Amino acid sequence: MLINKHLFLLNQHFIFSREACKMLSKRKWFYIKEVLKQ
């Protein structure tokens, strides 16, 4: 039971990290495009 909960939390953390990475990379590309426009 405890192990399952631990795995669940790890999975949630992994998904969150992956989503955060996607958002950051999108924002980074947006920022780069804005800089290149100027």
Q: What is the predicted pLDDT for the residue at 27?
A: 93
pLDDT value for 3 = 84
| pLDDT value for 2 | 84
Give the model confidence (pLDDT) of 1-38 as tens digits.
688 998 999 999 999 999 999 999 999 999 999 999 98
pTM: 0.54
The label of the residue with tokens 């989503």 reads 19
Give pLDDT, residue 24.
92
CA atoms of 36 and 24, how far apart (whole Å)? 18
